[in-house]
Amino acid sequence: MDNQSFITLSKFTVEARKVIGTVNPARLLKDADYSETIFEKVDASDNADLILLSLQLRQQIGLLESETTEPKKVHEMAIEQTATPSLPAGKYMFGARG
């Protein structure tokens, strides 16, 4: 889990405490049933900022699948394939004196 995910998780925990009560962040990450229950309570609330924050958190921890992951992978593969230029075998092209 990266730094941005931890920041989003802490913001979500603080905001959710105001609306639905105490949220255990460690259990939210490890227990699928608990996280589903918490996210259902958040979705049922009227707080739009909290709902948006929960969607961001779900995406970052992998509970919400985004549609943009497939084209991004294809684009990365295209970059990897074109990144290696064909050089003559036996001639060193990247030396200090060229």
Residue by residue, pLDDT tens for the chain (98 residues) are 788 989 999 999 999 999 998 999 999 889 989 999 999 999 999 889 999 999 999 998 887 665 554 555 555 555 555 555 565 566 666 667 65
Residue with tokens 């060229």: 98
N residues, the chain = 98
d(C-alpha 63, C-alpha 35), whole Å: 9
CA nearest to 10, candidates 44, 71, 53: 53
Q: Is the pTM of this model over 0.85?
A: no
d(C-alpha 79, C-alpha 39), whole Å: 37
